[in-house]
Amino acid sequence: MTDTSIFFDLSALVATLNFKHLRYFWMVAKSGTIARACEQLHLTSQAVSGQLRELEEALGVELFRRAGRGLELTDAGRRILSYAEEIFALGDELLQVARDQTTRKSLPFVIGIADSVPKSVAHRLVQPALQLPEAVRLICREGRLTALLADLAVHRLDMVISDRPMPANLNVRGYSHLLGESDLTVFGTAELVKRLSGSFPALLDGAPFLMPGDDVAVRSRLEQWLESQRLQPCVVGEFDDSALLQAFGQAGSGLFVAPTAIASYVVEQYRVSAIGRIEVISEQLFAITTERRLSHPAIVAISQAARDEVFGKRARPDAPIDTDVARPSVPPTRMPGRGEHG
């Protein structure tokens, strides 16, 4: 069948297919391989391959051809990909109008927030969007960055907030705008801090510690800093979600880090003390959009708030550091670090 045969009626396509076929096709097209698409979809290769075969049979065309170890779109596949992206965008608009009759009276703003972004920072960044003269209906989605970027590419999201720029290996058009950066502060409950000896940062050695998960951009830099200081805290937990990490910190399960820019909020909200600052590590936050120049009023408001209120020229400590930490009259027993045995 020639490429001209794919000028099919859009209504016939919708009647024959479902969004699942197109979604899997889109993900494979953007990922370049079925294996990478399966990782992002959390499905087996058999399931995805089966959906692709059904789509090709329904359309009567070949969508991919082998290119080395990966796949590349045929001419027909490229044309169908453009249709798929239009269908996703139109379908989302239809559902949005059907679910909320107030859509015409307010400006929809759908934002994705990566799991690794501190939720307290995200709240302070996004809040100004609700204070615009024009009414805004805020819709927040959370998830892994790759999944959020997939939704951004098909216009299901207006923006993604992430702690890292958009990965270069994704075949998605997008632009990463730096919102700001802040160094880190270490926090802990008063009861936990009393059990530690020495001054900061030496008191981290052997102390129970809540480590950001592998998906958190600052994780590797924090580990490198600890190694450079010859500090070996006892990691009792790892968390991709910052809110969950801070909840365990509030319960006294271990020391934890958060951006210095929100130190006052963390101290007040979680009833912990700021015990030391790591100025050589910066946590960055990015706004990822499909447009080079920011034009959506809500995105502009977020960018301005980040620059003027949340981060400033560079994050300044907004909570005092507790300099009277962990100096009991009787030194406590040192907790074993990694690789040690009690």
Return the higher-pLDDT residue of 47 and 184: 184
Q: State residue 305's pLDDT score.
A: 81
Report how far residue 172's alpha carbon sits from residue 175's, in angstroms, rounded to the nearest whole number. Answer: 10
Q: State residue 7's pLDDT score.
A: 43
Stretch 184-196: mean pLDDT, rounded?
94
Q: State residue 185's pLDDT score.
A: 95
Q: What is the pLDDT of residues 79-119, one digit of tens each?
A: 888 888 888 777 777 776 666 654 456 778 899 999 888 88
Closest C-alpha to 276, from 336, 339, 231: 231
Task: Check pLDDT > 90 for residue 252.
Answer: yes
Stretch 29-58: mean pLDDT, rounded?
85
Sheet holding 175-188, edge to edge: 136-143, 107-114, 159-162, 273-289, 175-188, 256-259
Helix (H, G, I), strand (E, B) or coil at 34: helix
Report how far residue 302's alpha carbon sits from residue 332's, in angstroms, rounded to the nearest whole number. Answer: 46
Closest C-alpha to 283, from 143, 114, 110: 114
Average pLDDT across the chain, whole number = 80
Which of the residue ranges 113-117, 148-152, 165-169, 316-320 would you say has the lowest mean pLDDT?
Answer: 316-320
Q: Percent helix, strand, coil in the chain (nearest 5)?
A: 45, 20, 35
Cβ contact 289:299 at 8 Å: yes
CATH architecture, domain 105-342: 3-Layer(aba) Sandwich (3.40)
Stretch 160-179: mean pLDDT, rounded?
84
What are the domain boundaries of the chain? 3-99, 105-342
Return the higher-pLDDT residue of 331 and 64: 64
Return the higher-pLDDT residue of 69 and 171: 69
Report how far residue 249's alpha carbon sits from residue 271's, in angstroms, rounded to the nearest whole number. Answer: 10
Q: DSSP letter string over 221-284?
A: HHHHHHHHTT---EEEEEES-HHHHHHHHHTTS-BEEEEGGGHHHHHHHHT-EEEEEEEEEEEE
Which of the residue ranges 82-91, 159-168, 318-327 would you say has the lowest mean pLDDT?
Answer: 318-327
Q: State residue 2's pLDDT score.
A: 46
Identify the DSSP state of 208. Answer: E
Task: Check pLDDT > 70 for residue 43.
Answer: yes
Q: State residue 16's pLDDT score.
A: 59
Q: What is the pLDDT of residues 274-303, one digit of tens each?
A: 999 999 998 888 989 888 777 788 888 888
**CA of 20: how far to CAs of 27, 47, 88, 198, 257, in Å?**
11, 11, 11, 58, 40
Percent of the chain topping pLDDT 70: 82
Has domain 3-99 been given CATH number 1.10.940.10? no
Report how far residue 173's alpha carbon sits from residue 292's, in angstroms, rounded to the nearest whole number. Answer: 10
Percent of the chain topping pLDDT 90: 27
| Residue labelled with tokens 């030194």 | 331
Q: How many CB atoms lie within 10 A of CB 108?
A: 17
Q: State residue 97's pLDDT score.
A: 67
Q: What is the pLDDT of residues 152-163, one digit of tens each?
A: 888 889 899 999
